[in-house]
Amino acid sequence: MPELPEVETIARGVNKRVRGDRIVHVWFASHRNLFKTPAERQSTGLEGRTFVSVHRTGKHIVCELAALPHGKRNRRTTVQPDAQWIVHLGMTGRLLVTTPDAPLAAHTHARLELESGKEVRFVDPRRFGKLDYRDLKDDEKFNAAGAEPLAIERDEFAALFRGRRLAIKAALLNQSLLSGVGNIYADESLYRAGIRPKRMAGRLTRAELERLRASLKTVLEQAISLGGSSVSDYVDAEGMRGFFQLEHCVYLRTGEPCRRCKTPIRRIILAGRGTHFCPQCQR
């Protein structure tokens, strides 16, 4: 479900609500492929640790944790984290901070009870999501494979696609090149840059690549400011929907008129994914 703007929105919301709070009890459902690190190791590591901060890297939510002496709530960032809990939401995952009495949603696979009484809940009907845990004295700190689309500059961006013989949309979706771009924002950024999704990545001109980099950054920033895109069921950490779906120009607008030229939006399959574009505005 969630791409960079949705994950960023959720991470900010969770951060605001759990920072400084201690995990007192953890419950996990027994779905084997949900856990990158075994569930027992995760719950042992999580219980007793305090949330130092929560942030986004690519499409991952990274919770920085520390084992602090009891009774010492600390909402400052000066505490050195000694562990990380990493949540990937897959296609339909939600990470919610609730009160303990909030009704338990179907497909709730993780519950973290906090000292304050709040709960962090991971809900994911399709179970494409993943939970990972790192103890920083044994494991490497989590790092996204690809570059950060909001920070990457012109030359580095252009270098990602040089010599690549695949469609530019497929390249945008490749998380080891850029991390955080998914199906919605790949289509929307290509539309805004006036580039057809099928164009071979390595054949784009310098000017087109720069237009794409700028469009991608702008569309991601606008989406973050509107709380992400709620196409069917995405909600943030408080259960609130986003509003960027109202700004979509092509995604899920098959047959509807292009906002710029009125030509019907076309849908094709590319890289196994539904792909939407304006045949007039995108060349």
Partner DNA sequence: CATTTCACCTGGTGGC
Partner DNA sequence: TGCCACCAGGTGAAAT
198 binds DNA per the rule CB under 7 A: no
Contacts of 226 (CB under 8 A, 6+ apart): 242, 243, 244, 246, 247
The answer to whether 2 is a known catalytic residue is: yes
Cβ atoms of residues 112 and 46 within 8 Å: yes
**Amino acid at residue number 8:** E
Give the CB-side neighbour count of residue 20, counting CA atoms within 13 A.
11
Q: Which two tokens stand for residue 59?
A: 């499409």
Choose among 175, 168, 182, 177: nearest CA to 283. 168
199 binds DNA per the rule CB under 7 A: no
Choose among 36, 224, 165: nearest CA to 174. 165
230 binds DNA per the rule CB under 7 A: yes
Given 106, 151, 207, 246, the residue binding DNA (CB under 7 A): 106
24/200 with CB nearer DNA = 200
Q: Which residue has the tokens 């399709």?
A: 126
> Among the options 17, 49, 59, 130, which is catalytic?
59
Judged by DSSP in three states, 241 sits in coil
196 binds DNA per the rule CB under 7 A: no
Given 23, 172, 184, 265, the residue binding DNA (CB under 7 A): 184
Choose among 184, 190, 151, 7: nearest CA to 88. 7
Please, which of residues 112-171 interact with DNA by CB under 7 A? 125-128, 130, 164-167, 170
The answer to whether 59 is a known catalytic residue is: yes
From the CB of 125, what's the least distance to DNA, in Å? 4
Name the segment binding DNA (CB under 7 A); options: 8-16, 63-71, 211-219, 267-275.
Answer: 267-275
Residue 32, judged by CB atoms within 10 A of its CB (0-12, 13-18, 19+), counts as exposed
Given 3, 119, 208, 236, the residue binding DNA (CB under 7 A): 3
115/132 with CB nearer DNA = 132
229 binds DNA per the rule CB under 7 A: yes
Name the segment binding DNA (CB under 7 A); options: 68-76, 175-183, 212-220, 256-264.
Answer: 175-183
DSSP assignment, residue 249? S
From the CB of 79, what's the least distance to DNA, in Å? 29
232 binds DNA per the rule CB under 7 A: yes
From the CB of 13, what's the least distance to DNA, in Å? 15
Task: Please state whether beta strands 266-270 and 130-135 pair in parallel, antiparallel, or not at all (unpaired).
Answer: unpaired
Contacts of 178 (CB under 8 A, 6+ apart): 146, 147, 148, 149, 152, 160, 172
Q: What is the rounded CA–CA span in Å between residue 70 and residue 144?
A: 33
233 binds DNA per the rule CB under 7 A: yes
Judged by DSSP in three states, 168 sits in helix
Task: Summarize as ranges the residues that interact with DNA (CB under 7 A).
Answer: 1-3, 6, 33, 58-59, 88, 90-92, 106-107, 125-128, 130, 164-167, 170, 173, 175, 182-184, 228-234, 242, 245, 252, 271-274
Catalytic residues: 2-3, 59, 273
